[in-house]
Amino acid sequence: MLHSTATDPGSPPPPAALSHLPPPMVPTPERVLGEWRDEAPAASDPGPTLIIIAGVHGNEPAGVHAARRVLAELARTRPAFRGRFVAISGNRRALASGKRFIDRDLNRHWSASQLAAARERVAAGTAGAEDREQVELAAALDPVLQAAKGRVFIVDCHSTSSQSAPFMLFADTLVNREFAAAFPLPLVLGLEEQIDGAIFDHYQGRGVVTLGVEGGQHASPEAVDNVEAVIWLALRHAGCLPEMPQAEAARHQAHLREARGSVPWIVEVRYRHGIRGEDAFRMRPGYVNFQPVESREHLADDRRGPVRAPEGGHILMPLYQGQGDDGFFMTRPVKPIWLALSARLRRRRLGWAVKYLPGVSRDPADRATLRIDTRVARFYPMEVFHLLGYRRMRREGRLIYVTRRLHDRPGE
């Protein structure tokens, strides 16, 4: 027996007509955009839970439109369904005004202590718009997580201010990597670690499989189409739609493959150009995501003068909107062989061997942390550590500290 709480599932808008419209602004969306589930799961097989978070940034409504289309289509076709699918809107107040945020970025400050502080401000009546959003969003997510008896997947849907092929970002654990690799989209490693307190990192820390998707340019209808294809494939890979015909899955995959174009499959973030309002940062026009740039290329200007690429590579997320504190990122392709090799090492728990590399030692204060002496180890690309599940934590003089993630393998 299937059950949906989607708004008016009986009269879904025709998807074919919708796909040619640009995404309009979203009149304040419901917190729970809709839900679909197997109402009588077998006790021995509770099934997976897939949660879509849409519009954590209010100028990125593609996920809201895509989730609504998927819910309407589920209501129309009523396919065999396992587990539970829930679509939740992110920054409702900002979505209603078409802005990235009202007072602060809702995709920051996700930790237990910051969440508690936001709850206190709400209780004290001193909360800003995003404090309320954060508290309400957590209140919508927590019961779904608590009710889940099987595996839980979260897909956090975004879009970019520049023109872009769709791509995925994730904390590089084996379970996340395995899920991400099921989509024929570019995988960006190390981007999430540049973002402190991102929502999906918070839930990833609780053992949930998490994935971020950047669907394309904010206002483009393609972004909605791309996110929709990602949601269908996520439902299939998570195990919610066990009987999705192969031809249908192939159609979604072909759509994403075409959207990816010639962008490399895996890239690693090597540099973030952080900015502040007083920098008066202005990206030079015409850059698109994954565009190759030369070392020292004149990419932008700020009050100090030209801003140049620190090294050659592929530019990512050049900033073409008023709000935001990331000017651009620089990435380089990673050879897929690294991914396969590191997965094997990690699965066989041989990743620890990295500490025997010259210049690398274990931090005496923390078993999960390695110290890398950059005088000795400067020639190891960070990708070696990334791919073995370590993330950059901090730099102290010539030492870089990297820490291995928990929840690297299922059950860990």
Q: How many CB atoms lie within 10 A of CB 246?
A: 7
CB of 59 to Zn ion, least distance (A): 8
If we measure between CA atoms, which residue out of 316, 330, 326 comes closest to residue 281? Answer: 326
* Nearer to Zn ion among residue 164 and residue 342 (C-beta): 164
* Nearer to Zn ion among residue 118 and residue 227 (C-beta): 227
| Residue 218 touching Zn ion (CB under 5 A) | no
Q: Parallel, antiparallel, or unpaired for β 167-169 and 187-189?
A: parallel
Residue 124 has which token pair? 């004290």
* Nearer to Zn ion among residue 38 and residue 222 (C-beta): 222
If we measure between CA atoms, which residue out of 182, 300, 284 comes closest to residue 236? Answer: 182
CB of 387 to Zn ion, least distance (A): 25
Residues 142 to 161 in contact with Zn ion, rule: CB under 5 A: 158
* Nearer to Zn ion among residue 57 and residue 92 (C-beta): 57
CA angle 137, 141, 143 (to 5 degrees): 130
CB of 60 to Zn ion, least distance (A): 5
* Nearer to Zn ion among residue 60 and residue 383 (C-beta): 60
Distance, in Å, from the CA atom of 163 to the CA atom of 289, rounded to the nearest integer, reads: 6
CB of 272 to Zn ion, least distance (A): 15
CB of 168 to Zn ion, least distance (A): 13
* Nearer to Zn ion among residue 66 and residue 72 (C-beta): 66
CA dist list (Å): 256 to 175, 185, 236, 381:
22, 6, 15, 30
CB of 286 to Zn ion, least distance (A): 22
CB of 277 to Zn ion, least distance (A): 19
* Nearer to Zn ion among residue 60 and residue 268 (C-beta): 60
* Nearer to Zn ion among residue 302 and residue 326 (C-beta): 326
Instruction: Specify whether the CB–CB gap between 266 and 177 falls below 8 A.
Output: no
CB of 319 to Zn ion, least distance (A): 12
Residues 175 to 214 in contact with Zn ion, rule: CB under 5 A: none
Strand partners, 201: none
Instruction: Tell me the backbone φ, ψ of residue 147, rounded to 5 degrees.
Output: -80, -15
Instruction: Specify whether the CB–CB gap between 2 and 39 falls below 8 A.
Output: yes
* Nearer to Zn ion among residue 57 and residue 260 (C-beta): 57
CB of 298 to Zn ion, least distance (A): 27
If we measure between CA atoms, which residue out of 154, 134, 135 comes closest to residue 49? Answer: 154
- When CB distances to Zn ion are compared, the closest residue is 158
Distance, in Å, from the CA atom of 162 to the CA atom of 328, rounded to the nearest integer, reads: 10
Interaction mask 50-89, Zn ion, x per CB under 5 A:
-------x--x-----------------------------
218 torsion bin: left (phi>0), alpha (psi -120 to 50), beta (else): alpha
The count of residues interacting with Zn ion (CB under 5 A) is: 3
* Nearer to Zn ion among residue 161 and residue 176 (C-beta): 161
**Unique residue bearing structure tokens 């419901």:** 30
* Nearer to Zn ion among residue 59 and residue 342 (C-beta): 59
CB of 372 to Zn ion, least distance (A): 31
CB of 100 to Zn ion, least distance (A): 7
If we measure between CA atoms, which residue out of 249, 120, 244, 125 comes closest to residue 183? Answer: 249
* Distant-in-sequence, close-in-space partners of 231: CB < 8 Å, separation ≥ 6: 52, 66, 67, 70, 155
Instruction: Specify whether the CB–CB gap between 25 and 59 falls below 8 A.
Output: no
If we measure between CA atoms, which residue out of 38, 40, 34, 33 comes closest to residue 49? Answer: 38
CA dist list (Å): 410 to 135, 152, 174, 209:
29, 11, 8, 9
Q: Which residues bind Zn ion (CB under 5 A)?
A: 57, 60, 158
